[in-house]
Amino acid sequence: MAEHITDAEFDAKVTNSTGLALVDFWAPWCGPCRMVGPEIEKLSEEMAGKMHVYKLNIDENRTTAQKFRVMSIPTIMWFKDGKVVESVLGAVPFEALKEKTNKLLGV
């Protein structure tokens, strides 16, 4: 299951970590965010042990959203060893998320 994180936790869990992490920048009022939410959860379950999956509510955590220049949501970013290596905007289907993740994992 995707873990909800805050600005205060972001560096420790994402930018100062090793391995692959996906961050879903979202907000509760966002329709497309609600559409992609179940896809993120499904990916989190399938990739358990291979990568971390986080959700960051941009309304409650504006500092991180501004730092990564999140202008529209949902924005999904993959971080490898703390650096952004891939991102997508909008409600993308599960297979597209899985394909990008597998590519980054070298699968």
Q: Which residues are catalytic?
A: 30, 33
Using CA atoms, how far residue 67 sits from 26, 83, 92, 95, in Å, is 15, 13, 23, 28
Q: Are 10 and 53 in contact (CB under 8 A)?
A: no
Q: Are 25 and 75 in contact (CB under 8 A)?
A: yes
Q: Are 97 and 39 in contact (CB under 8 A)?
A: yes
